[in-house]
Amino acid sequence: MPDFTYRVVTSAGRTVRGVEEAASAPALERALAARGLYPIEVAVAAGLRTARRRFRSRRADVVDSIRYLATLVGAAFPLDRALGTVARVTAREDVAEALGTVRERVRSGASLAEALGEQPGTFPRLAVGMTRAGERGGHLAEALGRLADHLEREEGLRAQLLSAMLYPLVMLLVGGAAVAVLVLYVLPRFVTLLDDAGVALPRSTALLLKTGAFLGEWWPVLLLAGVAAGLLTVVSYRSTAGRALTDNVLLRLPIIGSLRQRLAAARLGRSLATLLDSGLPILPALDVAADSLTSTAAAGEVLEAREEVRAGVPLATALGRGHAFPYVFVQMVQLGEEGGRLPEMLERAANAAEQDLQRGLERLMRLVEPALIVAFGVVAGFVALSLLQAIYGVRVDAF
């Protein structure tokens, strides 16, 4: 059967677009009307399946898919058809295939949460937990909408962190390349001139020439050593013990540690608030929220807190025993528990931690940028001064 695109109005007055298979346009209009939808436009979908794009971000495509699925489920679409529609309009082929597999599992009798859990490479564990809570509570569309909101905020926070790191990284690469060009290519051009002049070189120039000669001779070994050290670091960080050690060390650094605390607090607060609002009990919510954290140390403390909460200890008390979360965050969690407004206070604490993180990143960038400029300026100035001293010495001897 051919695919048709359509635009309908729900009983609540919302306009919904979608794609669905049907024998003909009138048959699809009758099927939509039978679901309580009012068709506005139905047309044959032309070239829809050729619009797949692998260059699109998978995270962004997953968020869009969940958002669209929430809209269709909220518009009283059967889950099977909603999944098929979302799979047809999804940009990335791998996400569309995962949605198609989820649809087949739902057709065979599995719940949506179970089907999503069988695609861990595409859908995060948080999606499984919130979907399960929405199915149990009978508010799947609302749970999916909250999940999409949460993932969008997470994607925005991730993009902000990457953009904050981009400028210093570019400066480091450009400055390092400029210094390397000076030492490896500019300096050797002066060696013959200075040797022919037969003058005593200044100490700074001699040191610079020796450094350039050493780097020019041994740069392949140094490059391989740097690559090997980087690979060893990546491999060790991927192991559980190495990642835990790295996270613990970073948490104890003066500035980086506080930033990582705020990042962990923002992610935990928002994830836990979203799960609790969706109807998930506190213990499984803590288990799912811990899995959403990128810091192994923070995730371990959340899992330890879950066991204490199971034994009757308040969440704030359990989280306060560690050092992965800021003191203010723990105090806001305590206020939420005492007032019976834990999800609300978790959301507020997450917003406060995210704002603190943004301000901390801005302050750090204001320190890093001039520090890099000064550092490269000192190196370039030392190279230029050494060359000028040598040239001045040659001219003096000539006269």
317 and 222 within one domain: yes
Q: How many residues does the chain have?
A: 399
180 and 100 within one domain: no
Q: Both tokens of residue 288?
A: 């799912």
Give the pairing of strands 15-21 and 3-9.
antiparallel
pLDDT (tens digit per residue) in 149-194: 888 887 877 777 777 778 778 877 887 787 777 777 777 676 666 6
Q: What residues have CB less than 8 Å from 396, skipping those under 6 apart?
A: none
164 and 280 within one domain: yes
Q: Domain for residue 226, yes or no? A: yes
235 and 323 within one domain: yes
Q: Domain for residue 132, yes or no? A: no
Residue 333: the pLDDT is 92
Q: Both tokens of residue 138?
A: 């009978």
Q: How many domains does the chain have?
A: 2
Residue pair 244/296 in contact by the 8 Å Cβ criterion: yes
How many percent of the chain have pLDDT more than 70?
84
How many percent of the chain have pLDDT more than 90?
10
Q: Domain for residue 288, yes or no? A: yes
> For residue 344, what are the domain limits?
146-399
Ranges under pLDDT 50 in the chain: 48-52, 54-55, 398-399
Residue 178's nearest CA partner among 369, 384, 392 is: 384
> C-alpha dihedral over 266, 267, 272, 277, to 10 degrees?
80
**DSSP run (H or E) holding 288:** helix 282-291
Q: Domain for residue 377, yes or no? A: yes
Q: Domain for residue 298, yes or no? A: yes
395 and 325 within one domain: yes
Residue 43, strand partner residues: 5
Q: What is the pTM of this model?
A: 0.66
Q: Domain for residue 138, yes or no? A: no
pLDDT (tens digit per residue) in 48-59: 444 445 445 678
183 and 75 within one domain: no
273 and 167 within one domain: yes
Q: Domain for residue 130, yes or no? A: no
55 and 192 within one domain: no
Residue pair 275/285 in contact by the 8 Å Cβ criterion: yes
Secondary structure string (H, E, C) spanning 9-53 = ECCCCCEEEEEEECCCHHHHHHHHHHCCCEEEEEEECCCHHHCCC
pLDDT (tens digit per residue) in 190-241: 666 666 666 666 777 777 777 777 777 787 888 898 888 888 877 776 776 7
3-state helix, strand, coil in the chain (%, to 5): 75, 5, 20
Residue pair 248/296 in contact by the 8 Å Cβ criterion: no
156 and 101 within one domain: no
Residue 44: the pLDDT is 65
Residue 155, SS3? Answer: helix
Residue pair 101/119 in contact by the 8 Å Cβ criterion: yes
At residue 286, what is the residue type? L
Residue 63 belongs to domain with CATH number: 1.20.81
304 and 343 within one domain: yes
17 and 98 within one domain: yes
- Dihedral of alpha carbons 108, 114, 120, 126, sign: positive
Residue 210 belongs to domain with CATH number: 1.20.81.30
Q: Domain for residue 128, yes or no? A: no
89 and 199 within one domain: no
